Structure 1
Amino acid sequence: MSIVDPNVSALSVWLALESPTHHLPGVNGMMDLVTKEVEGLPIAVERLPGRDGLGDSLILRAGLDNGEPAVAVMSHLDTVHPVGTSAKDLPVRIEGDRLYGPGVYDMKGGAWLALQAFKQVAKAGSAKRPMVFLFTPDEEIGSPTTRGVIEDIGRASVAVLVTEPAREGGKIVTARKGVGRFEVKLEGRPAHSGSRHADGRSAIREAAHQILAIEAMTDYARGITTSVALVGGGTAANVIPQHAWFSVDCRVTSLVDGQMMESRILGLKPHDPDVTIKISGGMNRPPYEKSMAVAGLFETARAIAAGIGFDLQDCPMTGGGSDGNFTAALGIPTLDGLGIDGDGAHTLKEYALISSIAPRQALIKGLLETV
């Protein structure tokens, strides 16, 4: 099917290059596409080499060099879909107002439209202050190699605009839960499950006790959730399992609750004293709370949106984390969910609404020129 809309045609080039986090050619290929887009424009490009087997990062700078704090835009170019998804399970295609494709909603659509806004303002010279645009390669796995640069750019900025996808009906994000990740490893005592059963100490049985205890820490009234979604262990069906492991996901609404939950999970003790437990990890994204400064920046965005012709709303605190958690926790006014509208993030039904591209691009352009 031919694609005639120039916006859709250009964005489809990004979708065709699949870039799951650990696929270095795809992620760095995306950085190459961004670099090519800004060639010949009044935009300085700095490329930071990747580490730990992950891709590079890219920093674009434009606007006035007047010593004022910058307005920063942040996007990630890694996705969750494995290479080959577009060839079989989620082909790039248009159905009515929907553009389907791996990562179109989370978050290549938002990264692409924000880059167009950034280019427009850079070419027009219409920014009141310096502008910085950071593209990262590892947000989908918690930003392990880029948190430092995210926070450094945040500290030097008057505001941060994050192009994660919009929520239902185009709402943006002004608060996110903090995220914790933990790994639990257990070691028991192996024995033949028939002739020497009593001699064994089951690591899997101990894991079951600990998993139930962790799941019971969920407190919906306080906005705390805990879940175990990955688990493994054992060696053979006729052996009392010596080893077991599982991962823990924790979400909280406040820094205090994050500290409390980290202490509770790291402090777990074995139910069976003959089984040892080793727990690693912690809170890796602090809560992003709607401060007065965030609320003020949101009102600025609402006024810009009204001038464009739509009523911008924000959603209640969302459970998913993003790089906006890092900058908001530093006290930097941060708006998130400024990307493309659509649905189906991380699924094979992921799509973006083509009609949302122009107004949301105009919103980011207005913010770059106003903040």
Structure 2
Amino acid sequence: MTMDKRTEVSVEAMLEDLRILVEVESPSRDLEALNASAKTVAAFIEDRLGGKAALVTGEAGPHVHWSGGGEPRVLVLGHHDTVFPLGTLERRPFRVADGHATGPGVFDMLGGLVQAVHGLAALDDRSGVEILVTCDEEVGSASSRTLIEERARACGAVLVFEGAADGGGLKTGRKGCGTFQVSITGRASHAGLEPAAGVNALIESARQVLDIAALSRPDIGTTVTPTVASAGTLDNVVPAQATVIVDVRVESAAEKERIESAFAALVPYLDEAEIVVTGAVGRPPMPETAAAGLFEMARRLLPGIEGKAVGGGSDGNFTAALGVPTLDGLGAVGGGAHADHEYLVVGSMAERANLVTGLATAIRDARER
């Protein structure tokens, strides 16, 4: 099967739907905003695909679930939360100019959601297709992970509509990722009168940071990067508290275990200092083997499309870790995720929507043989 017979989709209609979604701001953890966003997403899906899109209540806000009926065959996975605070839209409104659509969330990942729904709308028969749009992907998916895994197992194949890789490629592998917080407790004292009476949490944190950074193994894809540190209260007080936050990325389950064990084994250098570590590699690695079969389907539909392994994580990490075939990066072609210059390439929207149509058809056909 190829995309020689492309289904006509309206780019103008996709841009109008994208504008509607972007103009309902949806920062993670803002329950009121996420409720409004979920209702808007549900109405959009119902308008384009028919049926009923259910709001699934979670601790982080509402997720949106839609089914085309029949035996589940393929899960279209996305999220409607964004990283931008309320008020961003006023400063950076939705615009289309010079072949780009801009505005908060156009690339990550509202554009992908619009393309997916329009691609599925081109199917005469939508049975076997499910859509799950979660509200907490940008903050770790703690409240949606169980639902994601449940629907992935039921469907048996997952298409993730995060933004495309550089150059429009699909994402065939992702590193596992997580955040650790190292909290250090010392003892305060007067820095001039009796500095030796204190236990300096800042000095302890400095030594710990060096050990933590040394856990990196970039030669095998493991990065351990201290990103935020804080300590002290006043310039004449030996600091009693310090905190270090660390970003971790790994390519294998073995490295996940090594890093988590290393953090658990941290011990203080200074007498009477105490260390408490929280966090984990919450998103397991997405191995390229999980995407292999679906990627070949995509290449048959769109010859020349590339597959790339990337460092960032998504909900596809969870589904791939279950052994469910998962292909990521099917969303918007563009760039600038999480940044003010975020953009979507308008000229790629129709082709990506057609790819959705072809993949959903190919997956159902393959599983019905």
**Count of aligned positions:** 352
Normalised to the residue count of structure 1, the TM-score between the two structures is: 0.91
Identity percentage over the alignment?
39
Query: Given the alignment, which residue of 307, 310, 326 partners 1:314?
Result: 307
1:326 paired to 2:323: no
Q: Match for residue 53 of structure 2?
A: 45
Aligned-partner SS, 1:21:
coil
Where does 1:185-200 land on structure 2 (aligned, <5 Å)? Answer: 185-200=183-198
Q: Match for residue 362 of structure 2?
A: 370
1:34 & 1:119 partners in 2: Cα distance? 15
Q: Match for residue 301 of structure 1?
A: 298
Deviations 1:100-141 (A, max 9, x none): 1001011110011112223332xx21x5x5111001001011
Q: Match for residue 104 of structure 2?
A: 102
Q: Match for residue 116 of structure 2?
A: 114
Structure 2 gap ranges (5+): 1-10, 364-369
Comparing 78-87 with 335-344, which one deviates more in the overlay?
78-87
Q: Match for residue 60 of structure 1?
A: 66
CA RMSD of aligned residues (A): 1.5
Aligned-partner SS, 2:53:
strand
One-letter code aligned to 2:202: I
2:93 & 2:45 partners in 1: Cα distance? 28
Q: Match for residue 201 of structure 1?
A: 199
One-letter code aligned to 2:302: A
Q: Match for residue 146 of structure 2?
A: 148
2:67 & 2:322 partners in 1: Cα distance? 22
1:220 & 1:95 partners in 2: Cα distance? 40
1:61 & 1:343 partners in 2: Cα distance? 30
1:236 & 1:280 partners in 2: Cα distance? 26
Q: CA deviation at 1:180?
A: 2.1
Q: CA deviation at 1:42?
A: 4.2
Q: Is the 8 A contact 1:44 1:62 kept in 2?
A: no
Q: CA deviation at 1:46?
A: 2.3
Aligned-partner SS, 1:204:
helix
One-letter code aligned to 2:65: I
Q: Is the 8 A contact 1:177 1:252 kept in 2?
A: yes
Normalised to the residue count of structure 2, the TM-score between the two structures is: 0.92
Q: Match for residue 76 of structure 1?
A: 79
Where does 1:120-139 land on structure 2 (aligned, <5 Å)? Answer: 120-121=122-123, 124-125=124-125, 127=126, 130-139=128-137
Structure 1 gap ranges (5+): none
Q: CA deviation at 1:83?
A: 1.2
Moved over 4 A (4+): none
Aligned-partner SS, 2:276:
strand
1:153 & 1:273 partners in 2: Cα distance? 50
2:278 & 2:211 partners in 1: Cα distance? 17
2:130 & 2:280 partners in 1: Cα distance? 30
Query: Given the alignment, which residue of 27, 31, 46 partners 2:34?
Result: 27
1:369 & 1:31 partners in 2: Cα distance? 27
